[in-house]
Structure 1
Amino acid sequence: MSKPADSVPALRRAVRVLDMVKAESRPPLAADIARQLELPRSTVHGLLAVMVELGLLEKTATQGHRLGTRLLDWVGGVTEKRDLVTEFYQTLDSFSDLNAFTVTLTLLEGMEVVYVACRNSATVLGASFRVGMRLPAIFTATGNAMLAEMDDTSFREWLTLHPPSTWPEPLTPNGIRSVTTLVREIADIRQRGYAVDDEQVHDGLWCFGAGVKDYSGRMVAGVGISLPQSELSRYDVAELGRRATALAQAVSARLGYRLPTGDAESPR
């Protein structure tokens, strides 16, 4: 039986080609690549043609090859996520009023949110958050906060792509079950400026969320602050929402976002 590493030889050759092209001081010709990588010329010509077609490589006027612009798109995506997490943690350091809460950063991916950063509090929540965890977006404060940041057209498109027939079963009795309830929740979030998970993810767990925007005003993430229901009476609910909003606005500012003229930030 062949080893798993040998199951996709074309992909492994493509990576070797990219590594070589990157290392060369001048764009190498197909013959150079075939010779240095010890591959048949016919194999190299076919591989290069596909890689040029896909934008992984570009052909120069001298018939040499250089890295393609599609790779820049991939690098930009990775860098953007990495920068987002860095800015989140650096911003969080200045929010001492959030030390008692578990604070999370999530991205919206289809029907789910994926947790890309997390600072757990010492308080026992009854549920644990970790980087890489995924949850249904409609049950989470950060997920609904990001949905609320969409314009009406984008939100309708999201609903078309994710109709109720594809929704997961609620995680608790409080989970959203219908489009009508979700639409009403989105309207409430837009009006008050933050989202609330009132024990939809886990019994006894509350979370307040708000959306993060980048320099262009595009929604890119959601931040959430979580606490056990037993601690909720110690705080004003609206104030917890404002804290989540203030954190989201601060992260957005670090990403280059500026509020439109005439808009005021929520007070901390």
Structure 2
Amino acid sequence: MCGRSMTFQAPPWPKMAGIRLARPFPNLTFMASRAPTGEFAAPPVAGTAAFSKFMAVLQLVADLDEPTTIGDLAKRSGYPRTTVYRIVAALVAEGMLRENPRNGTLSLGPRLMQLASRSWARSDLRLAAIEALKELRDLTGETVHLAVPNGNTMVYIEKLESISAVRMASRIGTAVSMHSTAVGKAYLAALPAESRERLLPRLDLPRYTEHTVQDLDVLRRQIETFARQGWSVDEEENEAGIYCFGGAIRDPRGEPLAAVSISTLRFRQKQDKQAAYIRPLLEACRTIERRIAETPAFDSVREP
């Protein structure tokens, strides 16, 4: 089948308020191909361009904080509007995107969330960490996050809400910057010095609050301090009014593969709770590391 053009019959046209074509969306044509066995770093093969466009559109929707439109997706992606029409129609039909019947805006669909939820629920790392995370949340009364590196960002794979009425904007599946978060800084601080120096210049340093560090030299010195003390802090750098403390989780080889954070409101720091947070945070990280070491077939989520 390598190199052959294959036509896939589209599923029945969904009832969509914001996407109307003159006829059911046309059949989508892809170039089918087979990647070399066991080799994922092979040169691009025919057919991957179409798949990459689908993934790019999904990623755009996922990265936006609010529902979006086809016009906005076309503008952001640079793809022709007709191409985006076809991609969105197929993704909606498969449940990967959801279209609001009232205004035609698009958001992530139930099928995608179901797949992600199952992946996270079955994650060896999450399973190894969940009990320690619950204990940490119950002990501190604060929101607890578990995050893993993904390229130049950290992705939350677990979040346990504070027992108080206060709720944070973060959610499972969200990708956050390394330079502005406690989980990101804890991960950077735990990296070997050479690996850290390779990664730091590649980071984007967007400003999220007036406290966000955007100077690379300042960030480097900050990370070096965190490396010496063994934990990190985010002082309203990612979200106004929120302080976070982070600790790294290492695999049996001693390499960082994830990070845990405790998030609290700024005014609570007046009660000098920092000292009360750090010890249980680091104990939770060590407990998770022991659970990982005891898992024979632990599937590390750390990038190769």
Question: Once the two structures are superposed, what CA deviation does each residue of 1:70-128 show, in whole Å capped at 9, x if it has no partner?
Answer: xxxxxxxx79x811011111222444653511000001222211101110113344632
Question: Once the two structures are superposed, what CA deviation does each residue of 1:20-43 show, in whole Å capped at 9, x if it has no partner?
Answer: xxxxxxxxxxxxxxxxxxxxxxxx
Unmatched tracts of structure 2, length 5 or more: 1-6, 11-25, 41-118, 295-304
CA distance in 2, matches of 1:54, 1:110: 20
Residue identity opposite 1:154 in structure 2 = S
- Bigger shift: residues 177-186 or 241-250: 241-250
Unmatched tracts of structure 1, length 5 or more: 12-46, 56-77, 258-268
**For 2:223, which of 186, 210, 223 is the aligned residue?**
186
CA distance in 1, matches of 2:250, 2:201: 24
- The answer as to whether partners of 2:133 and 2:160 remain within 8 angstroms in 1 is no
- The answer as to whether partners of 1:120 and 1:129 remain within 8 angstroms in 2 is no
In the alignment, is residue 246 of structure 1 matched against residue 283 of structure 2? Answer: yes
CA distance in 1, matches of 2:255, 2:185: 16
Q: Which residue of 2 aligns with 1:131?
A: 172
Count of residue pairs the alignment pairs up: 194
- The answer as to whether partners of 2:260 and 2:281 remain within 8 angstroms in 1 is yes
Change (3 A) 1:210 1:185: same
Q: Which residue of 1 aligns with 2:129?
A: 88
In the alignment, is residue 195 of structure 1 matched against residue 225 of structure 2? Answer: no
Q: Under a length normalisation based on structure 1, what TM-score does the superposition of the two structures give?
A: 0.64
- The answer as to whether partners of 2:209 and 2:239 remain within 8 angstroms in 1 is yes
CA distance in 2, matches of 1:125, 1:177: 28
State the Cα RMSD in Å: 2.8
Residue identity opposite 1:221 in structure 2 = A
Question: Once the two structures are superposed, what CA deviation does each residue of 1:142-169 show, in whole Å capped at 9, x if it has no partner?
Answer: 100000011111011112433xxxx242
CA distance in 1, matches of 2:161, 2:29: 41
Q: Which residue of 2 aligns with 1:174?
A: 211
CA distance in 2, matches of 1:246, 1:176: 28
Q: Which residue of 2 aligns with 1:205?
A: 242
In the alignment, is residue 256 of structure 1 matched against residue 256 of structure 2? Answer: no
Tell me how far 1:238 sits from its aligned partner: 3.0
Change (3 A) 1:5 1:54: farther
Q: Under a length normalisation based on structure 2, what TM-score does the superposition of the two structures give?
A: 0.57
Larger Rg: 1
